Amino acid sequence: MTTVLKIGGARAVDPAGALADVAELVSQGEDVVVVHGGSTAVDDTLEALGEEPTYVETPGGVVGRFTDERTMEVFEMVLPGKLNTDLTEALQNQGVNAVGLSGVDGKVLSGRRKSAVRVVEDGKKKIKRGDHSGKITDVNADLLETLLAGEYTPVVTVPMLGEEKSGGYTAVNADADRAAAAVAGALDATLVVLTDVPGILEDPEDESTLIETADDPAGLELIEDAAEGFMTKKVMAAKEALSDGADEVVVADANAEEPVLSAVDGGGTHIAASALADDADAEPEAETEQ
């Protein structure tokens, strides 16, 4: 079995327990790919440089980062440069032969670049240009499978390789949850998304309202209705992973005891492929390109 583990970048998330679980799974002969974000660290770095991060709302109501050229430079410094190195180092210290990769390396993550996005400002729809982002449409599964076969553990992060309409490529930002979803789908893996809450809650203020499973369209509808804020993107990523071939998606607490092991053993919220409605009425891409 292959497990794709998404480690979140929220301040409240401590990756130590998850990395210990990765070491345990690898010692048992399991294949693991770690995918991580780091949006919080990017914001902290921007603020340390005296700059403000920019967030925008799409017409679909999804709030996301607008990545201008300067922000992209910071992404390249922080994610593959700092955070990926730190996680790879930590796994090596756990006895895991980890290999750090950005999406640019070996075309691990690629797709078309978005240079303009549709946003809503002051209640009006507008086109905002100068964006450095993209939607992942291709994963180099051969490279990841080659590393796994050689008993290496890939540690993957954005940027992705964005194809320009005029030809050539540019390193651009992509949502880390959706990057993990793309990797899980390409490897027919189980996707475990660790975050700073126990899973998807019917009432975000009440942990006792955890939705434990969704194995039919009604269950998925309940999850979609309950998700709000940052969890909206995680549910979107879960649907994409399952549509692309992932076995199952689990959203669970990064700070739980043995967070990965407990997640695959039934903890958190489990979403099965059978929860996807088999119809053509899926919602369109929330972030559209001009």
Binding annotation for substrate: 65, 173
269 membership: H or E segment, kind and range? strand 269-272
Gyration radius (Cα) of the chain, Å? 18
Q: Is 50 exposed, middle or buried (0-12, 13-18, 19+ CB in 10 A)?
A: exposed
**DSSP for 18-41?**
HHHHHHHHHHTT-EEEEEE--HHH
Rounded to 5 degrees, φ, ψ at 35 are: -125, 135
39 closest CA partner among 17, 19, 64, 15: 64
Please state the residue numbers annotated as binding site: 65, 173
Q: For the chain, where are the alpha helices, taking DSSP H only? A: 16-27, 39-48, 69-76, 84-93, 141-149, 176-186, 217-226, 230-244, 259-264
Q: Which residue has the tokens 């050539």?
A: 168
